[in-house]
């Protein structure tokens, strides 16, 4: 079996009971073959970054240990999205039942049509950086720098943590 490495996944939902969508997705992450869930952030609520005529998003970040190659892990993430009703309408930053973004796969950098690592734009998204810092404050993002430095340049746009007991 290949050697395992850490991978970080951003989770987001703003349709069909977003909290439940995220919680189900977190359980599904732990069921991916050759992968286990090591840690997850609390849930956060934040306004959409795209069209404003949609519900707020619920977001989180999960830390995995995986032996899967990046594209194999991406395939597993997209299968979870489909299982939870994700329909890719082509609307950029539109509403969705579930969005799973592979942020990091070890210290690998990659730029191919299906996948870019580290995830592009992650350094500008408070709903990615703040939950990521909750579970991995020591991270250095390849080509971007320390998580602390990235957060210093990315103020919150209204991101609010939700208590895990909120449902």
What percent of the chain clears pLDDT 70, i.e. is strictly above it? 91
Residue 40 CA to residue 51 CA, distance in Å, equals: 28
Q: Is the pLDDT of residue 158 over 50?
A: yes
pLDDT, one tens digit per residue, over 51-92 is 778 899 999 999 999 999 999 999 999 999 999 986 766 666
pLDDT, one tens digit per residue, over 133-142 is 999 999 999 9
Judged by phi (left if over 0) then psi (alpha if -120 to 50, else beta), residue 121 lies in left
How is the chain split into domains, by residue range?
5-166
The domain covering 5-166 belongs, at the CATH homologous superfamily level, to: 7,8-Dihydro-6-hydroxymethylpterin-pyrophosphokinase HPPK (3.30.70.560)
DSSP letter string, 30-95: HTSTTEEEEEE--EEEE--SS-SSSPPEEEEEEEEEE-S-HHHHHHHHHHHHHHTT----S-TT--
Indicate whether this model's pTM tops 0.85.
Answer: yes
Can you give the pLDDT at residue 129? 98
Q: Is the pLDDT of residue 167 over 50?
A: no
Kindly provide the b/e burial profile for residues 126-142, where b requires at least 16 CB atoms within 10 angstroms of the residue's own CB: bbbbbbbbbbbeebebe
Residue 66 CA to residue 79 CA, distance in Å, equals: 16
Give catalytic residue positions.
Answer: 86, 96, 99, 101
Can you give the pLDDT at residue 89? 64
């Amino acid at each position: 079996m290949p050697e395992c490495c850490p991978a970080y996944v951003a989770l987001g939902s703003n349709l069909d009971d977003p909290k439940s969508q995220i919680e189900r997705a977190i359980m599904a992450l732990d069921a991916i073959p050759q992968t286990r869930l090591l840690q997850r952030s609390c849930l956060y609520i934040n306004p959409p970054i795209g069209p404003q005529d949609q519900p707020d998003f619920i977001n989180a970040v999960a830390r995995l240990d995986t032996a899967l190659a990046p594209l194999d892990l991406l395939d597993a993430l997209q299968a979870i999205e489909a299982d939870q009703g994700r329909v890719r309408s082509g609307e950029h930053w539109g509403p969705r039942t579930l969005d799973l973004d592979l942020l990091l796969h070890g210290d690998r950098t990659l730029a191919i049509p299906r996948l870019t690592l580290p995830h592009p734009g992650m350094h500008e998204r408070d709903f990615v950086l703040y939950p990521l810092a909750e579970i991995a404050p020591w991270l250095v993002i390849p080509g971007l720098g320390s998580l602390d430095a990235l957060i210093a340049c990315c103020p919150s746009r209204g991101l609010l943590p939700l208590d895990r007991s909120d449902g």
